[in-house]
Amino acid sequence: MSDPAYRREELLIAVIAQLLEPCRSVAVGSASPITGAAALLAQAQSGGRLRVSLLGSHRHNPFTNGGVELFDCAAQGRIDAFFLGGGQIDGAANLNLVGIGAYPRLSVRWPGSFGSAHLYHLIPRVILFREEHTRRVLVPRVDFISAAGPSSNDVNRRGGPYALVTGRCLFLFDRARRRFRLASVHPGHDAGEIAEHTGFAFDRPPEVPVTPVPDSRTVAVLRERVAVGIAEVYPRFAETVFGGARTAA
C-alpha cells in the first residue's frame, strides 16, 4: 500500500512549526516527539537560523548543564518559544499537571508541575499541545493551577500562552480577552465538533478555515531530514511515523 500524501502526525508537526515563525530560539522538553519534530522542521525551513534545544539530544542541544541552563536562558530572555501541555487545560490557558480532585485529596495524581509556572511566565511564545481533544482534557476550569495562563495587569510578565494545538484544531490565545479563538479546524473536523468536545467557551469567526495541510516539499523534509534528527531521541516514534528506512543516521 502506498504512503498517504501526509500522515496525521505530520500535519500536527507542520502546524506547530508554522507557529514558531519568526522565533530565533526554541526549547523542547521531555516526552515531546511531535513538538520536537516541529522544532526541527522549523529549523530546517529557516535555513538553520532557528536555534533548537531538544532535551535528550546530543546533536540538537546547545546546553551543557541541562535544565539549569535552560532556566537561566529563559530568565535572560534568550528563549523565544517553549511547549507545555497538561492533564487539564481550561479556557484561560491555565494548566493542571498535578492531578484530578480537590488538592491535596486527589483521585488521580500526575507527575507534577516541575518548572512549568516559571517558564510560562518568562518565555514569550508558549505553545500548548495536547493531542487528545475531549472535555476530559479541555475543561471549564482546571482542578489545580500548575501554571497560570493569565496574570493580573500589575504583574510584569513577558511570557504566556500563544496557541493551543490539538488533534482536532488550532486555537490562538487572545491575551487581552484572556480566552481562546478557534483559528482553524484540521481536515475531517468542523467547528460544531470542536464545540461538542471542548469544555470551555471560545471565540470563533463566522467561517472557520481548514488547517492547511503540509505540501509535498514539507513532507519530504520531514521524512528525509527531520526523521533522522528526531530518531536520536524518539526512535520508536520515528520508526512508526516516518519508517525505519528514512531514519538511519
Instruction: Give start and end residues of each alpha helix (H) in 52-115.
Output: 66-75
CATH of the domain at 109: 3.40.1080.10
User: With pLDDT > 90 as the criterion, what percentage of the chain qualifies?
Assistant: 84
Q: Which residues pair with 100 in a beta bridge?
A: 108
Distance CA 204, CA 45 (A): 30
Q: What is the pLDDT of residues 143-177, one digit of tens each?
A: 999 999 999 888 889 999 999 999 999 999 999 99
Confidence of residue 245 (pLDDT cuts 50, 70, 90): very low
User: Does 65 share its domain with 5?
Assistant: yes
The vertex-22 CA angle with 225 and 207, nearest 5°, equals 95
User: Does 168 share its domain with 93?
Assistant: yes
Highest mean pLDDT of the ranges 56-70, 110-124, 159-173 = 159-173
The yes-or-no verdict on residue 249 having pLDDT over 80 is: no
Q: CA nearest 126: which of 87, 173, 91?
A: 173
Type of residue numbered 207: E
Containing structural domain, residue 153: 86-114+128-214
User: Does 42 share its domain with 152?
Assistant: no
**Residue 153: inside a domain:** yes
Confidence of residue 193 (pLDDT cuts 50, 70, 90): very high
**Residue 121: inside a domain:** no
Average pLDDT score over the chain: 93
**Residue 123: inside a domain:** no
Confidence of residue 63 (pLDDT cuts 50, 70, 90): confident
Minimum mean pLDDT among 73-77, 153-157, 202-206, 235-239: which range? 153-157
User: Does 69 share its domain with 137?
Assistant: no
**Residue 120: inside a domain:** no
The yes-or-no verdict on residue 30 having pLDDT over 90 is: no
Q: What is the pLDDT of residues 84-98, one digit of tens each?
A: 999 999 999 999 999
User: Does 104 share its domain with 208?
Assistant: yes
Number of domains in the chain: 2
User: Does 134 share its domain with 76?
Assistant: no
User: Does 145 share its domain with 174?
Assistant: yes
Distance CA 173, CA 160 (A): 9
Q: What is the pLDDT of residue 62?
A: 82
